[in-house]
Amino acid sequence: MALLEINNLRTYFDTLRGPVKAVDDVSFQVEKGESMGLAGESGCGKTTVALSILRLLPSNGKTIGGEVLFNGENLLGLDDAAIREKVRWKGISLVFQGAMNALNPVYKVKEQIYEAIKLHEPDLGKQEAFERVRKLFEMVGLEPARVENYPHEFSGGMKQRAVIAMALACNPELVIADEPATALDVIVQAQVLKLIRALKEKLRLSMILITHDLSIIAETCDKVAIMYAGKIVEYGDIQTIFHEPLHPYAQGLIQAFPNINAPKQSMISLPGFPPDLLSPPSGCRFRPRCSYAMQICKEREPEVLTLGKELHRVACHLVAKT
């Protein structure tokens, strides 16, 4: 049994102009000790997937279908108290996007991490909890004495490490990291990615890494799901997807990232821009930008095909035809 299994998840947002289908029939699994990358451009629904898993959607968002099985239990069926006590921080923790601003500026960092620990282990004494915070700091490569600092005394990279320490405070089985290295400088970003890889090995953590940057996924993940306009267009083992992507969008996205080791070449571009999710195009949502579009792409939404090994899935009429 997979640690996390998501089947046919649908999350819609109510807006004045009608429902936005932010996540539409998304399925994937994360095994124990595995890290999965969830890639896509802004507005493709990748953050909404994370918020749906932890039931943190804003008030106009609603998960209207599908299941989120965590250790076999459907999180969508739990009430708020159960989610708070059993799942958040302890089972699944989230490293928020823009972690640099996720810390409260008026509390010491240790108090903020302590808050999460206290909620789940009320019996633990305050001093013991602080001791754990110091240990966590050491684990993420921060000096333990710095727990006494306020967030403004930290640099960007240090804040990011502190937020990662917080996510690990209650020994979660799964960590979801939303753009964990995005606003950081190249060298600090490399340091954080190295830390994430080291923690994954050491703690046998399962991870979902959400990012628009495929090169970050190539550096840290075992498999990858590529989302476009609320749907997963291709999903599979990282080697397969990067070396033999089948979906035209996946191919385009991978080529859009310059490789510093490759010989000089002109950048390959994808024409057009992502659709408005209030009224997505009929059939395949990528059709208006796809250079291989056929008549059928307009008429019917492509089914998700499983190829060869069970892991590789793709939703494209082009692949169905051959």
Partner 1 sequence: MQETMIRVTDLKKWFPVRMGFLGTLLSKEQLFVHAVDGVDFEIRKGEVYGLVGESGSGKTTTGRMLVRLIEPSYGKITYHEQDITTTPEKGLRPLRRKMQMIFQDPYDSLNPRMTAANIISEPLESLGVAEGQELEERVRKILEDVELTPPEEFMLRLPHELSGGQRQRVATARALVVNPEFVVADEPVSMLDVSIRAEVLNLMLHLMEKYDVTFLYITHDLALARHICNRIGVMYLGKMMERADADDLIKEPMHPYTKALIAAVPVPDPSSRRTEVVIKGEIPSPVAPPPGCRFHTRCPEYLGDICKTKEPSVVEVGPRHFVACHLHSKH
3-state helix, strand, coil split of the chain in percent (to 5) is 35, 25, 40
175 binds partner 1 (CB under 8 A): no
Among the listed residues 7, 19, 32, 41, the single contact to partner 1 using CB under 8 A: 41
291 binds partner 1 (CB under 8 A): no
Nearest-angstrom CA–CA distance, 215 and 74: 33
DSSP H or E run through 184: none
Radius of gyration over alpha carbons of the chain, in Å?
A: 20
Burial 303-313 (b: 16+ CB within 10 A, else e): ebeeeeeeebb
Contact 257, 215 (CB under 8 A): yes
185 binds partner 1 (CB under 8 A): yes
Which is closer to partner 1, CB of 7 or CB of 149?
A: 149
190 binds partner 1 (CB under 8 A): yes
Which is closer to partner 1, CB of 274 or CB of 283?
A: 274
Nearest-angstrom CA–CA distance, 244 and 185: 30
DSSP secondary-structure letter at 14? E
146 binds partner 1 (CB under 8 A): no
Among the listed residues 273, 279, 300, 320, the single contact to partner 1 using CB under 8 A: 273
151 binds partner 1 (CB under 8 A): no
Nearest-angstrom CA–CA distance, 241 and 235: 7
Stretch that binds partner 1, among 59-67, 85-93, 113-121, 183-191 (CB under 8 A): 183-191
Count residues contacting partner 1 (CB under 8 A)?
A: 45
Closest CA to 3 of 80, 73, 96: 73
191 binds partner 1 (CB under 8 A): yes
Stretch that binds partner 1, among 83-91, 115-123, 124-132, 189-197 (CB under 8 A): 189-197
Cβ of residue 288: shortest distance to partner 1, in angstroms? 13
Contact 180, 160 (CB under 8 A): yes
Give, in order, the Cα–Cα distances in Å from 7 to each of 4, 10, 22, 23, 29.
10, 9, 16, 12, 9
292 binds partner 1 (CB under 8 A): no
Which is closer to partner 1, CB of 30 or CB of 117?
A: 30
DSSP H or E run through 196: helix 186-203
How many residues appear in the chain? 322
Strands 61-70 and 4-15, by their bridges, are antiparallel
Cβ of residue 21: shortest distance to partner 1, in angstroms? 19
Which is closer to partner 1, CB of 68 or CB of 192?
A: 192
Cβ of residue 321: shortest distance to partner 1, in angstroms? 24
Which is closer to partner 1, CB of 64 or CB of 258?
A: 258
Stretch that binds partner 1, among 12-20, 96-104, 266-274, 297-305 (CB under 8 A): 266-274
Scan residues 197-256 and list those touching partner 1 (CB under 8 A): 197, 212-216, 218-219, 238-239, 242-243, 252-254, 256
260 binds partner 1 (CB under 8 A): yes
Interaxial angle between packed helices 156-167 and 186-203, expressed in degrees from 0 to 180 and rounded to the nearest 10: 20
Which is closer to partner 1, CB of 185 or CB of 303?
A: 185
Binding site for partner 1 (CB under 8 A): 41-42, 155-157, 185-191, 193-194, 197, 212-216, 218-219, 238-239, 242-243, 252-254, 256-261, 264-271, 273-274
